Amino acid sequence: MSRTEAGDLGTRFRIYENAAWYRGDGAHAYITELKAQLARCGAGGDEEGFDPLAEDHLGPDTVLFLGTYDEGDRYVGYVAAAVGHYVVVVMMSDSYLGAADLTTLNGLASAAMSRAAA
């Protein structure tokens, strides 16, 4: 079971939020594997791919990473978190500069985590 929401934050940012329910320890296992894949396959600099930035920055089982595009000139910010049986992923894109506001993204992810915990 999952749900996805999307919306605009002003005229500049587009936000997507997905919350998916997992059985047993599935949410924790998902984030653990995501962290491992980011560590093994992270791209940075002028590469395209995913660039890990922080682990457990909003609490246990959280990760902040970038999806980089256009040879590293544009990026989308992601926060993924395991909250109980849920995996919550919040993504932010920027239509002007091609760079997400990571402080705002972390605040939106924290709010999404609180909703999933309730």
DSSP per-residue letters across 20-39: EE-STTHHHHHHHHHHHHHH
Q: Mean pLDDT for each consecutive 10-residue tract of the chain (118 residues)?
A: 88 94 97 94 71 94 90 83 98 84 96 96
3-class DSSP assignment, residue 97: coil
The Cα–Cα gap between 114 and 111 comes to 5
Q: State pTM to two decimals.
A: 0.90
Supply the pLDDT for residue 117: 94
Supply the pLDDT for residue 71: 67
Cα atoms in the 13 Å half-sphere on the side-chain side of 66: 21
CA 53 to chain centre: 11
Supply the pLDDT for residue 46: 62
The DSSP bridge partners found for residue 74 are 69
Q: Using alpha carbons only, what angle is made at residue 78 by residues 102 and 45, rounded to the nearest 5 degrees?
A: 75
Please say whether the beta carbons of 66 and 53 come within 8 A.
yes
The DSSP bridge partners found for residue 54 are 64
